[in-house]
């Protein structure tokens, strides 16, 4: 889910960054009235994320372009599949091409990696969630890409919930005091989460009545103890040191959520191309 108005503002920034004053190559090589027909195609198997954003890049640069989207976000497509067609002024298509490809490749890369992590926890109660460690300016779109890959979103921003971390706890003088201070002004439907890195802290957070306890950088053995201690009385989130190599074992401890920044930070852009239609 993303906002079209905000997306347009991003697209304007991207196009300005890439084009500068003009696309010099297109200006000196292509006549102003020349037209062309092109198609965007998958050069490897992928999960689509950002196809409407890519289409909007073309229309934002030149509203006269005709863009036909052939797939939708979340679709699993094979190598060679046509993702969209674009036709009209050739200068316009080739000027906006790279920006459209860049965002689609980036978002689809996140969706693909997210799907690998989701597959690794299949059959357990754990659900994969993302973090706020996103590319500045692209959070809305990167979090949308996570959902295309089957993951869930954590907080969209700092205003979406209260997460009490170690530094907050230190300032307030303990978990109980920190929670009590937060509860005094917390909106009634807003959730409160506390980060814990020791079992003793989990006990204190449980006593304080928090909505979610984050098990931060705990070992599998410690997580297993925490799950038994909590016994379903609140939700547990595992975080820190999560990778494809470790997430399966962590998911089997019985935690409710597993959060990782890897699905954004370690994703590889998908190979997608734009070719002239024959």
Per domain, the residue ranges of the chain are 4-114+267-276, 118-265
Position 250 pLDDT exceeds 90:
yes
Name the CATH topology of 118-265: TIM Barrel (3.20.20)
pLDDT band at 1 (very low <50, low <70, confident <90, very high): low
Rounded Cα distance, 130 and 262, in Å: 9
User: Quick check: pTM over 0.85?
Assistant: yes
70 is known as an active-site residue: no
How large is the average pLDDT for residues 206-226? Answer: 97
Give the strand pairing for 235-239 and 212-216: parallel
133 is known as an active-site residue: yes
pLDDT band at 5 (very low <50, low <70, confident <90, very high): confident
Rounded Cα distance, 148 and 165, in Å: 29
Integer angstrom CA distances of residue 61 from 14, 95, 137, 256: 11, 9, 20, 44
Phi–psi pair at 277, nearest 5 degrees: -70, 140
Rounded Cα distance, 55 and 88, in Å: 13
The pLDDT assigned to 141 comes to 97
CA 235 to chain centre: 22
Range 4-114+267-276 has CATH code 3.90.1170.20:
yes
195 is known as an active-site residue: yes
Asked if 58 and 40 touch (Cβ cutoff 8 Å), the reply is no
Q: What counts of helices (H) and strands (E) characterise the chain?
A: 11, 12
Catalytic residue among 97, 142, 193, 216: 216
Position 3 pLDDT exceeds 80:
no
Asked if 210 and 193 touch (Cβ cutoff 8 Å), the reply is yes
125 is known as an active-site residue: no
Neighbours of 221 (CB within 10 A): 9
Furthest-apart CA atoms within the chain: distance in Å = 72
Percent of the chain with pLDDT over 70: 99
What rounded mean pLDDT belongs to the chain? 96
How large is the average pLDDT for residues 245-268? Answer: 97
How large is the average pLDDT for residues 95-115? Answer: 98
Asked if 179 and 200 touch (Cβ cutoff 8 Å), the reply is no
Position 203 pLDDT exceeds 80:
yes
98 is known as an active-site residue: yes
Q: In what order do the strands lie in the sheet with 272-276?
A: 66-69, 82-89, 35-42, 272-276
| pLDDT tens-digit readout, 138-197 | 999 999 999 999 999 999 999 999 999 999 999 999 999 999 999 999 998 899 999 999
How large is the average pLDDT for residues 76-80? Answer: 98
Catalytic residue among 9, 79, 165, 183: 165
């Amino acid at each position: 889910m993303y906002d079209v108005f905000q997306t347009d503002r991003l697209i304007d920034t991207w196009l300005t960054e890439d084009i500068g004053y003009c696309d010099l190559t297109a200006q000196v090589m292509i006549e102003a009235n020349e037209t062309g027909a092109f198609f965007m195609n998958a050069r490897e198997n992928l999960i689509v994320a950002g196809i409407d954003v890519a289409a909007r890049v073309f229309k934002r640069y030149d509203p006269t372009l005709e863009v036909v989207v052939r797939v939708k976000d979340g679709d699993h497509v094979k190598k060679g599949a046509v993702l969209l067609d674009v036709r009209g002024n050739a200068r316009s298509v080739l000027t906006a091409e790279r920006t459209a490809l860049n965002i689609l490749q980036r978002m689809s890369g996140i969706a693909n990696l997210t799907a690998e992590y989701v597959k690794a926890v299949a059959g357990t109660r754990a659900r994969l969630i993302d973090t706020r460690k996103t590319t500045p300016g692209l959070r809305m779109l990167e979090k949308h890409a996570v959902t295309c890959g089957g993951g869930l979103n954590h907080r969209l921003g700092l205003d979406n919930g209260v997460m009490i971390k170690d530094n907050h706890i230190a300032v307030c003088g303990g978990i109980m005091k920190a929670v009590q201070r937060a509860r005094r002004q917390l909106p009634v439907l807003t959730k409160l989460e506390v980060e814990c890195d020791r079992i003793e802290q989990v006990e204190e957070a449980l006593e304080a009545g928090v909505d979610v306890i984050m098990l931060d950088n705990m070992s599998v053995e410690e997580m297993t103890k925490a799950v038994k201690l909590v016994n379903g009385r609140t939700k547990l989130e595992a975080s820190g040191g999560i990778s494809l190599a470790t997430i399966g074992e962590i998911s089997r401890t019985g935690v409710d959520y597993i959060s990782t920044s890897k699905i954004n930070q370690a994703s590889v852009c998908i190979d997608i191309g734009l070719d002239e239609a024959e």
